[in-house]
Amino acid sequence: MIEVDHLTKYYGDFPAISNVSFTAAKGEILGFLGPNAAGKTTTMRILTGFMPPTSGTARIAGHDVVTESLEARKRIGYLPETVPLYTDMTVKSYLAFMGTLRGMDSKAIRRRTGDVVQICHLEDYYNSIVGKLSKGFRQRLGIAQAILHEPDVLVLDEPTIGIDPIQVVETRQLIKGLGGEHTVILSTHILPEVSMICQRVIILHEGEVIAVDRPERLAERLEATERILLEVRGPTNQVAKAIRDISGVQDVTYGEEGGKVVYNVTCRRSEDMRAQIARTVVEHGWQLMRLESVTMSLEEIFLRLTAAEGA
Ligand SMILES: Nc1ncnc2c1ncn2[C@@H]1O[C@H](COP(=O)(O)OP(=O)(O)OP(=O)(O)O)[C@@H](O)[C@H]1O
Ligand SMILES: [Mg+2]
């Protein structure tokens, strides 16, 4: 449904994105994850035909976003970073207006307005003035206008930014429900959000794709290292030193947790490592109270990926 090939965009001589390539299958929800200035909005603007790339190509349902811009845009619904709402219109008249802009006839507009108002839970605000809607409801209206013309592809630029926690949960559910029917690309720098909503994540950093994977697979990719939580009864400094001296251990930190000393061990991932750590503790005559492998959160992975890139 979406094919992006070596997309590059220069602002002057500054490359905002370079060689960005990815695909998205029909019905898939794809997350763009990256810190500020990573190039998320730039990529989305190119996909939606807002501006051309410097080089590379992007296709929506087979239509090139530059050479067949109109065909491509017909198939896209776009929620930009700042939703362009007309604050003096009612929700109803705004949606009708957006439908007209997209070339829908009045019958289609009536039918779809009813649909999207229901999908986005805007029923109670149908006749409200847009300017009086709360931020979360404006965001929903932004999504409603994006899906009005039944596009195959939805591009949502930070759809949950600035929304209160309760509305965020609902908005995420709303977006999740749009997958399957639509192919969705959403950008965020909220890490748990991608795990919650997306089937696949593209991590962008300084304009480059540094990882593409399923959220849970990203964790496995850092398989080379493992984190182990260890609780030992023994002299703290000596315990830490003894574990640090085990070959394959990269780092040991410790802190107190409810009156107990807990060691945080980063080491090469293998069955052996855990056995060796246990053996070391026991051989010193200390008591091993807990030894537990911890899965790394996407957040840590993200930090690691970006740190590795910068190094
Ligand atoms: N119109 C522009 N002119 C010059 N530079 C720009 C322009 N738009 C964006 N940039 C630069 O391109 C880079 C990528 O910006 P972009 O807006 O795509 O990032 P982003 O990932 O969307 O960030 P954020 O999370 O802050 O929204 C940044 O360094 C930014 O300063
Ligand atoms: Mg942005």
Ligand 1 contacts CB of residue 37 (under 6 A): yes
Same-domain status, 87 and 209:
yes
Q: What is the CATH number of the domain that holds 263?
A: 3.30.70.1340
Same-domain status, 168 and 205:
yes
Distance 213 CA to ligand 2 centre (A): 21
Kindly provide the residue ranges of all beta strands, DSSP E only, lying in the chain, ordered along the sequence. 2-11, 14-24, 29-33, 55-60, 63-64, 76-79, 153-157, 183-188, 200-205, 208-213, 225-233, 249-257, 260-268, 287-294
Ligand 1 atom nearest residue 43's Cα: 18
Residue with the nearest Cα to atom 11 of ligand 1? 16
Residue segments in the chain with a per-residue pLDDT below the cut of 50 = 310-311
Residue pair 154/181 in contact by the 8 Å Cβ criterion: no
Ligand 1 contacts CB of residue 189 (under 6 A): yes
Same-domain status, 173 and 85:
yes
Residue 275, CB-side half-sphere exposure with 13 Å CA sphere: 3
In a domain, 301, yes or no: no
In a domain, 8, yes or no: yes
> What is the pLDDT, as a whole number, of residue 15?
95
Same-domain status, 184 and 84:
yes
What total of structural domains would you count in the chain?
2
Same-domain status, 53 and 110:
yes
Q: Identify the bridge partners of residue 255 per DSSP, sorted by sequence position.
A: 262
Ligand with minimal distance to 43 CA: 1
Its domain, for residue 155, covers: 2-216
Q: What's the rounded Cα separation, in Å, for the pair 184 and 201?
A: 12
- Report which DSSP code applies to 124: G
Residue pair 273/228 in contact by the 8 Å Cβ criterion: yes
Same-domain status, 196 and 240:
no
> What is the pLDDT, as a whole number, of residue 217?
81
Helices (runs of H) and strands (runs of E) counted in the chain: 11, 14
Same-domain status, 208 and 232:
no
Distance 126 CA to ligand 1 centre (A): 35
In a domain, 109, yes or no: yes
In a domain, 309, yes or no: no
> What is the pLDDT, as a whole number, of residue 298?
65
Q: What is the pTM of this model?
A: 0.78
Tell me how far the alpha carbon of residue 182 is from its chain's centroid: 17
Q: What is the CATH number of the domain that holds 184?
A: 3.40.50.300
In a domain, 305, yes or no: no
Same-domain status, 229 and 81:
no
Q: What's the rounded Cα separation, in Å, for the pair 99 and 41?
A: 24
Same-domain status, 11 and 156:
yes
Distance 65 CA to ligand 2 centre (A): 20
Same-domain status, 37 and 122:
yes
